[in-house]
Amino acid sequence: MNATAHGAAEQVPEQMLPLDLQTMRETALRALGKGSENLSQEELDSLTRALRGMLALAIPEVTAAADKHPQGDVPRICALVGVEEASRHLRARPVPAASPWAPRQAQRLARSVMALTDHYVNLGGRA
């Protein structure tokens, strides 16, 4: 790595971009909507990877937003429960796209993406 590239890497902020809630929701709806059972194995694999990546980005953001609220705050509690469920889905071993269980796994991930986007907004995140 040359000095210019190294210097640029040091200037990248920790939080690069806000969550793109619209894209996250649209992607999740692809897994939850009609026609999702007709996705090719490649499309299903790509969709599942995208959903997993979205959860990996959303979990720390929702957690940080929840941490700004008081301990007994109901939206905070609900968001942290959603974070825990999303974390469990993320820790689950990925199912091969050829498996009959792959669409169900994608749907579980998609429901968690939808839930985390809602929690993020409820906690004061930008929609």
Provide the whole-model pTM: 0.84
Please report the pLDDT score of residue 17 as a whole number: 59
- pLDDT tens for each residue of the chain, 127 residues long: 344 444 433 443 444 458 999 999 999 999 999 888 889 999 999 999 999 999 999 999 999 999 999 999 999 999 999 999 999 999 999 999 889 999 999 999 999 999 999 999 999 987 6
∠ CA 8-11-17, nearest 5°, is 110
Q: Which long-range contacts (CB under 8 A, 24 or more apart) does 72-77 make?
A: 75/119, 75/122, 75/123, 76/123
pLDDT value, residue 7 = 41
